Amino acid sequence: MSLDPALRSRIESILTADRVVLFMKGQPTMPQCGFSAKAVGALQDLGVEFAHVNVLADPEIREGIKAYGDWPTIPQLYIDSELVGGSDIILQMASSGELSSVLGLAAPDRTPPRITVTPAAVEMLRGALADAPGASLQLSIDASFQPNFQLAPHDDNAIAAESNGLRVQFDLASARRAEGITIDWVDDIRGKGLAIDNPNAPKAVQELAVRDADDQRRAGTLTVVDVRPADERAIASIGGDFKTFDGNNRAELEALPKDTPLAFLCHHGGRSAQAASSSVRWASARSTTSPAASMPGRMRWTTACRSTDRRFNRDG
User: What is the C-alpha separation between 171 and 17, in angstroms, rounded?
Assistant: 31
pTM (two decimals): 0.58
Tens digit of each residue's pLDDT (9 = 90 or more) over 108-152: 889 999 999 999 999 999 998 998 888 999 999 987 788 999 999
Tens digit of each residue's pLDDT (9 = 90 or more) over 168-213: 999 888 999 999 999 999 887 667 888 899 999 876 444 556 677 7
Helix 59-69 crosses helix 5-17 at what angle (to 10 degrees)? 80
pLDDT of residue 57: 95
Pick the more confident residue, 26 or 256.
26
Among 15-24, 29-38, 95-104, 253-262, name the most confident range. 15-24
pLDDT of residue 103: 94
290 by Cβ neighbours in 10 Å (0-12 / 13-18 / 19+) ranks as: middle
**b vs e for 70-98, b when ≥16 Cβ sit within 10 Å of the residue's Cβ?**
ebeebbbbbbeeebbbbbebbbbbbbbbe
User: What is the C-alpha separation between 12 and 23, in angstroms, rounded?
Assistant: 13
pLDDT of residue 277: 58
Work out the angle at residue 48's Cα, subtended by the Cα atoms of residues 47 and 50, and round it to the nearest 5 degrees.
140
Tallying the residues shown for the chain, one arrives at: 316
pLDDT of residue 300: 44
User: What is the C-alpha separation between 150 and 147, in angstroms, rounded?
Assistant: 10
What structural domains does the chain harbor?
5-103 (3.40.30.10), 116-197 (2.60.300.12), 210-314 (3.40.250)
User: What is the C-alpha separation between 285 and 177, in angstroms, rounded?
Assistant: 11
Q: Are 55 and 86 in contact (CB under 8 A)?
A: no
Interval 68-85 mean pLDDT = 96
